[in-house]
Amino acid sequence: MKKALVAGLLVTAVSTSCFSPVNTFAESNTTYLQPSSILGPAMDRLSNSITNLGSQTPLIQGYGLIILQQPDLDVSTIYGITTDQGTIRNHVRDYLDINNHKLSVVNQDIQSFGIRFANYYNKLVELAGKMNEDPEAKALFVRIFNLLQGDVQKIQYNMKITSKDLNNSKNELAEDSKNFSSKVSRAFESYKGSDACPST
């Protein structure tokens, strides 16, 4: 029952998007949520979220590396093509340097939370068995639980911000690519036309 209590509380905390600190617990006749396993589903939820965040990263990285390795374009007949190439390169560098780091930080936070929970778990189980008779045990349980809950809230907030930043960067790169590709196509057509002209 103690393990079910601890796991139920933590799974509920991780699985919900809104959090409120735990202040008190009801008496011993309270029916607690029963998890299907200790913390597996909750951590899977976070793990899947970070996977979804980074799912498009390899594709964007590959595209970005192609952009960075392209030779400089200097096509005087197409206004702004050199500037557009510089802009898209800068945005690619920002994505690779900044957003990849953000993904790494969120992933590290998730791993750290798993370790922290494992370190506290036995203590929480012990305190759960004493809460109804020992006010100090109850207070310590609440304090530790709120600490872990705060960690989860921070992770989910960072994931939300990172997801927003990734989407903004992806949209920015898509717009850059559209503009740049259009001018490259025009430049290509221009050169095709000049090659087709008969020599005098």
Per the structure, the count of domains in the chain is 1
Question: What is the tens place of the pLDDT at every residue in 126-182?
Answer: 888 888 889 998 899 889 888 888 888 888 888 888 888 888 888 887 887 787 777
**132 in any annotated domain:** yes
Question: What is the tens place of the pLDDT at every residue in 55-70?
Answer: 666 666 676 777 777 7
Q: 104-126: b or e for each residue (b if 16 or more CB lie within 10 Å)?
A: eebbebbeebeeebeebbeebbe
Residue 88 predicted with pLDDT over 90: no
Domain that holds residue 7: 1-15+90-183
- Higher-confidence residue: 78 or 133? 133
**148 in any annotated domain:** yes
Phi, psi of 194, rounded to the nearest 5 degrees: -70, -35
Residue 15 predicted with pLDDT over 50: no
